[in-house]
Amino acid sequence: AYAYIFGADNIKLARYSTYKIISSKEITDAFSFSIDSADLASIVEEKENEIVIKANDRNKLGSFTLRAKNKDKELTKTISIVPLW
Contacts of 44 (CB under 8 A, 6+ apart): 16, 52, 53, 54
- For 45, residues 6+ apart whose C-beta sits below 8 A from its C-beta are 51, 52
Residues 22-79: pLDDT tens digits? 999 999 999 999 999 999 999 999 998 999 999 999 999 999 999 999 998 999 999 9
pTM above 0.85, yes or no: yes
Q: What distance lies between CA 37 and its chain's CA centroid?
A: 11
Q: Which pLDDT does position 68 carry in this prediction? A: 97
1 has pLDDT over 80: no
What pLDDT does 3 receive?
95
DSSP state of 37: -
